[in-house]
């Protein structure tokens, strides 16, 4: 079950596509559902499937194919750092290592207080701003030096 | 440094947070090309001819002539047809479309409107890379602005031309930059490339005739219509018309996007990007995005930045992503990271790519970690040979080409790594 606010957003997405192509809204519907719930449980995916008249398996296929969907619970803030080559040439790995050290966790782990999950990301299309990271998929942070990371973590801990 | 004519980023005030808005686009001469088409009653055929004359080639990576692509659309087809913009920019090193949409989204909308007019299309989708969420939201706002001002919708500017445009976001899959995977993705499926033929012009989105172009390609169109195809061609060089936005990343002082004429010497572009960081020496450069073959520094320094010159030098212009590596770069480590990327992003549909990318990664990984064997180098070449050209889409080629080029130009460094179990640099 999703909130009326989420459903309203999904309806807006459905309206972008031909009337017989509701399935086209599945990516945005899952993203909206994830924003509300934090992650995609089977129940949430089944709800989306039902809402879009899709077989549940077709929704699972999408959710497991695209890597920004959380198929398991994550911390309050999921931080995804790009370590791909262009970023790596400009400090991407340093940023990742600094985050690991500050948070005391490795990639794909969640801090004990449940606040942070760290992920290794692939190209975000912002290589000129390296090091770059994403907070909860939606907020891109550029030029993440150690000082900038400190500032970001302070802000998120508030 | 000479001041060049810019087609896409001209007049943008990067310091002004509202530079992208419709009012500012109009001040920069926005939507004039569309108005010109209506006021001078320019026919769709003439629009396509101008684009052909301009020698505009696809800016997403393949470099296919845009005018020719447009002429493939069945113009007489009565049913629904679609126009799709590929803004799923995820080729490592490429970040130009993000800036076009961030700072000049209406130029993309106007370019799509002109394309739609030329091909008789009423509906378009712009597929935006999932990781740049703020840009997706900006595009949503820009489309809304255009709609309220009568540039999108029914009977645009009082003409009988109607066009609706919608944004669709990705959610983390490099493969969706492949045009048929992107169509599958809009249809709400896994992004697995389709077998071709049939090509999208015959069987595209929802099985209807569809044309897909890159963001930068569409964004070049308004200028061509306003100034003429000939003029655009003259900005660049024969067969390589116009300007190109190069995304420069890696070991330079000022990474960023630089719009320069096709055929600009690489040395000049490097200077624009602030030169080498720390004054170090250029070791290698990938001139067109991570999928393209790397070239040694000395070759790059004597190359011009256009499709034909880079091809002659032994690589490809691709998406115009210029990844700069200085003398401190370990090429084994660099290739290991790229190999991991293709392994991670293979959609799994074709065996040579699904299995082969994993093998490539594991072998390069063991070399990097001091467990390589001398015969690994030939094995990598052999593997790359057995992937390239043997898959439905170009991801297989994209995984194989960097490996072959690295071994061609920096084989000694790999051999050293294997023998001494450490970096040469």
Extract the tokens encoding B323: 């990844």
User: Given CB atoms, is B60 within the 8 Å cutoff of chain A?
Assistant: no
Q: Among B107, B131, B118, B401, which residue's Cα sits nearest to residue B245?
A: B107
A82, A155, B196, B262 from B57: Cα distances, Å = 30, 45, 21, 11
| pTM (2 d.p.) | 0.97
Which segments of B200-285 does DSSP mark as H helices, in order? 215-227, 229-235, 266-272
DSSP 8-state secondary structure symbol assigned to residue B422: S
- Please count the other Cβ atoms lying within 10 Å of the Cβ belonging to residue A5: 10
Q: Please, what is the Cα angle at B108 between B103 and B114, to 5 degrees?
A: 150
d(CA A74, CA B222): 45
User: Given CB atoms, is B134 within the 8 Å cutoff of chain A?
Assistant: yes
Confidence (pLDDT) at B385: 96
Q: How confident is the model at residue B158 (pLDDT cuts 50, 70, 90)?
A: very high
Torsions phi, psi of B150, nearest 5?
A: 85, 15
Inter-chain contact A124–B186, Cβ cutoff 8 Å? no
Strand order through the sheet with A116-121: A109-110, A116-121, A77-82, A133-135, A139-141
Which segments of B66-160 does DSSP mark as H helices, in order? 66-71, 96-103, 105-119, 133-148
d(CA A139, CA B64): 34
Q: Please, what is the Cα angle at B85 between A18 and A33, to 5 degrees?
A: 55
d(CA A48, CA B287): 43
Q: List chain B residues with CB under 8 Å of A54.
A: 188
Confidence (pLDDT) at B1: 44
pLDDT, one tens digit per residue, over A97-122 is: 999 999 999 999 999 999 999 999 99
Q: Average pLDDT for residues A6-22, to the nearest whole number?
A: 98
Extract the tokens encoding B19: 């530079």
Q: How confident is the model at residue B2 (pLDDT cuts 50, 70, 90)?
A: low
Per the CB < 8 A criterion, the answer to whether B357 and B369 are in contact is no
Confidence (pLDDT) at B346: 97
d(CA A11, CA B221): 33
Q: Average pLDDT for residues B61-80, to the nearest whole number?
A: 92
Between strands B295-296 and B164-169, the pairing is unpaired
Question: Minimal Cα distance from B136: which residue of A?
Answer: A138
Q: List chain B residues with CB under 8 Å of A12.
A: none
Confidence (pLDDT) at B239: 87
Inter-chain contact B92–A18, Cβ cutoff 8 Å? no
Q: How confident is the model at residue B34 (pLDDT cuts 50, 70, 90)?
A: very high
The answer on pLDDT for B78 being more than 90 is no
The answer to ipTM > 0.85 is: yes
d(CA B243, CA B400): 29
d(CA B54, CA B73): 19
Confidence (pLDDT) at B284: 98
The answer on pLDDT for B169 being more than 80 is yes
d(CA B312, CA B309): 5
Interface test with chain A among B79, B127, B130, by most A beta carbons within 10 Å: B130
> CA of B383 to nearest chain A CA: how many angstroms apart?
22
Mean pLDDT taken over chain B: 96
Extract the tokens encoding A63: 């959710």
The answer on pLDDT for B409 being more than 80 is yes
Beta bridge partners of B282: B326
d(CA A128, CA A89): 11
d(CA B342, CA B398): 8
Q: How confident is the model at residue B76 (pLDDT cuts 50, 70, 90)?
A: confident
Q: Among B121, B117, B78, B110, which residue's Cα sits nearest to residue B210?
A: B121
Inter-chain contact A127–B321, Cβ cutoff 8 Å? yes
d(CA B330, CA B70): 43
Extract the tokens encoding B125: 């989708």
Confidence (pLDDT) at B425: 84
B120, B270, B310, B328, B384 from B325: Cα distances, Å = 46, 12, 17, 8, 23
B105, B113, B218, B307 from B165: Cα distances, Å = 13, 9, 14, 31
> CA of B311 to nearest chain A CA: how many angstroms apart?
22
Percentage of chain B modeled with pLDDT above 70:
99
d(CA B362, CA B342): 12
d(CA A121, CA B216): 25
Q: How confident is the model at residue B4 (pLDDT cuts 50, 70, 90)?
A: confident
pLDDT, one tens digit per residue, over B362-391 is: 999 999 999 999 999 999 999 999 999 999
Question: Minimal Cα distance from B246: which residue of A?
Answer: A128
Per the CB < 8 A criterion, the answer to whether A77 and A118 are in contact is no
Interface test with chain B among A128, A129, A130, A132, by most B beta carbons within 10 Å: A128
Establish whether the linkage from the previous residue to B27 is cis, with ω within 30° of 0.
no
Collapsed DSSP state (helix, strand, coil) of residue A109? strand
pLDDT, one tens digit per residue, over B184-195 is: 999 999 999 999
Q: Among B204, B277, B222, which residue's Cα sits nearest to residue B108?
A: B222
Per the CB < 8 A criterion, the answer to whether A79 and A96 are in contact is no
Confidence (pLDDT) at A158: 86
User: Given CB atoms, is B330 within the 8 Å cutoff of chain A?
Assistant: no
The answer on pLDDT for B301 being more than 70 is yes
Find the CB nearest B93 among A65, A66, A127. A127
Question: Minimal Cα distance from B185: which residue of A?
Answer: A24
> CA of A111 to nearest chain B CA: how many angstroms apart?
23
The answer on pLDDT for A7 being more than 90 is yes
Residues 170-189 of B with CB under 8 A from A: 170-174, 185-189
Beta bridge partners of B86: B127, B214
Collapsed DSSP state (helix, strand, coil) of residue B213? strand
Per the CB < 8 A criterion, the answer to whether B242 and B232 are in contact is yes
User: Given CB atoms, is A23 within the 8 Å cutoff of chain B?
Assistant: yes
User: Given CB atoms, is A30 within the 8 Å cutoff of chain B?
Assistant: yes
Extract the tokens encoding B167: 């944004």
Q: List chain A residues with CB under 8 Å of B94.
A: 123, 125, 127
Q: List chain A residues with CB under 8 Å of B206.
A: 18, 21
Residues 201-260 of B with CB under 8 A from A: 206, 247-251, 255-257
Mean pLDDT taken over chain A: 97
Confidence (pLDDT) at B75: 80
Beta bridge partners of B408: none
> CA of A158 to nearest chain B CA: how many angstroms apart?
23
User: Given CB atoms, is B14 within the 8 Å cutoff of chain A?
Assistant: no
Identify the structural domains of chain B with CATH numbers, from first to last: 22-235 (3.40.50.11540), 243-326 (3.10.20.600), 331-420 (1.20.1440.230)
pLDDT, one tens digit per residue, over B315-343 is: 999 999 999 999 999 999 999 999 999 99
């Amino acid at each position: 079950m999703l909130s009326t606010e989420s459903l309203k957003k999904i309806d807006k997405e459905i309206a972008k596509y031909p009337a017989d192509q509701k399935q086209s809204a599945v990516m945005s519907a899952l993203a909206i559902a994830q924003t509300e719930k934090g992650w995609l449980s089977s129940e949430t995916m089944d709800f989306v499937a039902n809402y879009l008249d899709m077989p549940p398996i077709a929704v699972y296929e999408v959710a497991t194919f695209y890597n920004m969907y959380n198929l398991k619970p994550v911390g309050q803030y999921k931080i995804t750092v790009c370590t791909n080559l262009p970023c790596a040439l400009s400090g991407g790995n340093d940023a990742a290592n600094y985050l690991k050290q500050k948070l005391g966790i490795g990639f794909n782990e969640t801090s004990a207080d449940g606040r942070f999950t760290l992920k290794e990301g692939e190209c975000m299309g912002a290589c000129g701003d390296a090091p770059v990271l994403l907070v909860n998929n939606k907020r891109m942070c550029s030029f993440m030096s150690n000082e900038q990371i400190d500032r970001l973590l302070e802000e998120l801990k508030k | 440094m000479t001041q060049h004519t810019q087609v896409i980023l001209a007049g943008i005030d990067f310091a002004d947070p509202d530079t992208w808005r419709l009012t500012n686009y109009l001040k920069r001469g926005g939507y004039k090309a569309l108005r010109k088409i209506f006021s001078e009653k320019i026919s769709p055929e003439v629009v396509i001819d101008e684009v052909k004359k301009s020698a505009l080639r696809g800016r997403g990576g393949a470099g296919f002539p845009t005018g020719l692509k447009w002429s493939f659309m069945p113009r007489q087809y009565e049913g629904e047809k679609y126009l799709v913009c590929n803004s799923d920019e995820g080729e490592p090193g490429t970040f130009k479309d993000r800036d076009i949409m961030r700072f000049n989204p209406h130029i993309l909308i106007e370019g799509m409107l002109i394309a739609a007019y030329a091909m008789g299309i009423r509906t378009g989708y712009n597929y935006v890379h999932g990781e740049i969420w703020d840009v997706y939201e900006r595009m949503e706002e820009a489309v809304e602005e255009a709609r309220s001002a009568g540039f999108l919708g029914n009977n645009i500017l009082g003409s009988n031309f109607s066009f609706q445009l919608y944004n669709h976001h990705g959610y983390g899959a490099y493969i969706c930059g492949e045009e048929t995977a992107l169509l599958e993705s809009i249809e709400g499926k896994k992004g697995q490339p389709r077998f071709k033929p049939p090509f999208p012009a015959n069987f595209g989105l929802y099985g209807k005739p569809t044309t897909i172009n890159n963001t930068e390609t569409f964004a070049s169109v308004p200028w061509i219509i306003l100034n003429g195809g000939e003029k655009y061609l003259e900005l660049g060089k024969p067969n390589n018309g116009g300007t190109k936005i190069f995304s420069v990343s890696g070991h330079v002082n000022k990474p960023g996007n630089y719009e320069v004429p096709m055929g600009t010497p690489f040395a000049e572009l490097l200077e624009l990007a602030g030169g080498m960081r720390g004054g170090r020496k250029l070791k290698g450069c990938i001139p067109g995005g991570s999928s393209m073959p790397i070239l040694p520094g000395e070759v790059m320094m004597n190359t011009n930045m256009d499709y034909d010159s880079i091809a002659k030098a032994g690589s490809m212009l691709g998406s115009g992503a210029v990844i700069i590596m200085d003398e401190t770069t370990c090429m084994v480590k660099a290739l290991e990271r790229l190999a991991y990327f293709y392994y991670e992003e293979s959609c799994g549909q074709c065996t040579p790519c699904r299995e082969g990318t994993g093998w490539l990664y594991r072998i390069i990984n063991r070399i990097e970690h001091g467990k390589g064997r001398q015969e690994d180098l030939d094995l990598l070449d052999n593997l790359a040979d057995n992937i390239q050209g043997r898959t439905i889409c170009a991801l297989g080629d994209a995984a194989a080409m960097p490996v072959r080029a690295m071994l061609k130009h920096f084989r000694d460094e790999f051999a050293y790594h294997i023998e001494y179990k450490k970096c040469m640099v």
